[in-house]
Amino acid sequence: MALPACGVPLYMALAGAIVEVAGSVRQDTLCRTHARATDETDREGSVIRQSALTSSADWRDFGRVLRAHRDQCGLTLRDLAGRIAWHHSVIGKWELGKNRPPVEAVKALDAELGAGGELMAQALHAAMTDADQARKSTVEAKASTQDEDEDMERRRLIQGAATVAVGGAVAPVLAALTDAWQTYGPRISGASVSQEMIDDWEDAAEAHFERSYYDPPAVVLAALAVDYANLAPHLNRAQPEAVERDLAHAAARYSTLIAGEWYNLGNKREAYRWWKRTRTLADVSRDTVQASVLRSWEASHRRYDDGDVLPLLQEARRLAGERPSLTLFSALRVEAQVLAMKGRTSEAIIALNQAETVLEGLPAQTPGTVRPDWYTRSLVYTLAGDDRRADEAQDAARRAYDSGHIMSAVFELHRAAAQAHTDPEQGAQHALRTLDGLPVERRNNHILSDVQFTLAVLPEKAHALPAVRELRALTVGAQSF
């Protein structure tokens, strides 16, 4: 993955390893403060001798990302050491994955190198993986003062990461208020949670979903990380059957949102791990409606993949059943999108018509319905070369979404692709203007892949046009279809 110029954010993904965080972070995790480091001496220009640690794959990954950002900024180890007041030999060990830096150092490195939260993300991933492995390798013991201290350090890391993402000091305050709120209210008999907590997690997941259309993926992921970290410990505790299902239901919604944001940030490995967890949680919840919808949601994101996601949609349709429902409509509409991207446009139009037939059979007041589905119409007809129907869908969508909604930009990119059928230069220029109107942090993998609609419909002779070359350069590394 190519790095941007120094100072330009890459991404601030924060939820990579917040899975099963029921255990405390062990003594050797990222959150060790300077007071707990062994043989510590003055930070300013002298060696901080942390305990020797066995190198792990996750910390070596952190080191490689750190080295890449340092090289991108043209800094030597000594240059960087002078800027963040840590000794160059210590930074060198971090780059080799031999030592684990404290959270204060990671924050300083992230800010100085303009990593936009990526170093915080990598460190959080490694630290939480360490914590999970330590928890699994030890027998559960009665909580001690040390356990509580380490749990506080875990929360501090998550809060610090969230602060990097939102760019302010309010995140720890909000997290503290959330902790205080959760201590009030009666627990369900035999459970570690109250019904109020479960309901709140469900409501919050819906709020995160709505904000994902307006906020950069990194900011959405930061908020998801904090909420999921509060929910996740309860998944590993013995709960009454009904509570276990309700917790799995809420957790599945978070998991699929986290997967989607990882995918938007271009990290397919993390996205797939979370989607696998989503399917497991949805099945544990025994809610076939949710299990179907979340599989359709996954396929919608993964429609840019080289792999075949149609079997996933077949499973979504099976779970939805044959009777008209919003769940069946969701599976059919995504199937139309996937088929269109595979160049099977005649089949895509058939699936689109089936989806719209299902939609027409639902009561007018059915929550969550958009009549008709302008997005799928726009995508399918644009790729099918039916400019009249594509323009109709794009005009209707322009009236339906405000300028801050990410779908507003998506439809403009569809319009650019439609224009490129007849005027390649105009279509490419339209796509460039649309990208220029988006902040860098909102030009996620999904958006850049939609830009490729324009490139996909261009005739070969148009590839030499300056606007087309510029557009192609901007989409390097994005998922193609």
Residue 81's identity, in one-letter code, is: A
Tell me the two tokens of residue 407. 């779908």
Indicate the pLDDT class of residue 105, thresholds 50, 70 and 90.
confident
Position 132 scores a pLDDT of 52
In order of 19, 195, 273, the CA distances from 240 in angstroms are 21, 12, 27
DSSP-assigned letters across all residues of 225-238: HHHHHHHGGGGGS-
The sign one gets for the Cα dihedral 351, 278, 174, 16 is negative
- State the pLDDT at residue 142: 37
The Cα–Cα gap between 251 and 239 comes to: 14
Could you give the C-alpha distances from 358 to 313, 349, 393, in angstroms and in order? 16, 14, 19
Q: How far apart are the first and last CA of the chain?
A: 18
Give the separation between CA 18 and CA 128, rounded to whole angstroms.
6
- Asked if residue 474 lies in contact with residue 451, where contact means CB atoms within 8 angstroms, the answer is yes
* Integer CA distances (angstroms), 120 to 210, 221, 262, 450, in order: 25, 13, 15, 29
Q: What does each C-alpha distance from 297 to 97, 253, 294, 300, 360 come to in angstroms?
A: 36, 11, 5, 5, 21
Backbone angles phi, psi at 347, to 5 degrees: -65, -35
Helix (H, G, I), strand (E, B) or coil at 124: helix
Question: Which pLDDT score, from 0 to 100, does residue 146 have?
Answer: 45
Report how far residue 114's alpha carbon sits from residue 256's, in angstroms, rounded to the nearest whole number: 29
Q: Rounded to whole angstroms, what are the CA distances from 455 to 129, 216, 387?
A: 40, 25, 16
Domain boundaries, the chain: 1-182, 185-286, 386-474
The answer to whether 340 and 379 are in contact (CB under 8 A) is yes
Dist. CA 203–CA 362, nearest whole Å: 25
Concatenate the DSSP letters of all residues of 198-251 into one string: HHHHHHHHHHHHHHTTTS-HHHHHHHHHHHHHHHGGGGGS---HHHHHHHHHHH
**Tokens for 167?**
């760019």
Instruction: Please tell me the number of Cα atoms within 13 Å of 425 on its side-chain side.
Output: 3
- Per-residue confidence band for 183, with pLDDT thresholds at 50, 70 and 90: low
Mean pLDDT of 200-205: 90
Q: Above 50 in pLDDT, residue 455?
A: yes
Separation of alpha carbons 411 and 375, rounded Å: 8
Averaged over 16-22, what is the pLDDT? 30
**Residue 419 banded pLDDT, cuts 50, 70, 90:** confident
Query: Can you list the pairs that 337-342 forms with residues at least 24 positions away whose Cβ atoms lie under 8 Å?
Result: 337/300, 337/303, 337/376, 337/379, 337/380, 338/299, 338/303, 338/309, 338/310, 338/313, 339/310, 340/379, 340/380, 340/383, 340/384, 341/303, 341/304, 341/379, 341/383, 341/481, 342/481
Q: Is the pLDDT of residue 252 over 90?
A: yes
- Cα gap 379→371, rounded to integer Å: 16
Task: Write the CATH number of the domain with boundaries 1-182.
Answer: 1.10.260.40
Q: Name residues whose C-beta falls within 8 Å of residue 201's C-beta, 6 or more positions apart in sequence.
A: 227, 230, 231, 250, 254
Q: How far apart are CA 28 and CA 26, in angstroms?
A: 6
| Distance (Å, whole) CA 119 – CA 143 | 31
What pLDDT is stored for residue 334 in this prediction?
94
User: Measuring CA to CA, which residue among 236, 143, 148, 243 is closest to residue 193?
Assistant: 243
80 contacts 88 by C-beta, under 8 angstroms: yes
pLDDT tens column, 324-343:
898 999 999 999 999 998 88
pLDDT beyond 90 at 282: yes
pLDDT at 312 (0 to 100): 93
Q: What is the pLDDT of residue 129?
A: 63
Tokens coding 324: 């008209």
> Mean pLDDT over residues 94-107, rounded?
83
The pLDDT value given to residue 215 = 82
Q: Which two tokens stand for residue 33?
A: 């403060």
Confidence of residue 128 (pLDDT cuts 50, 70, 90): low
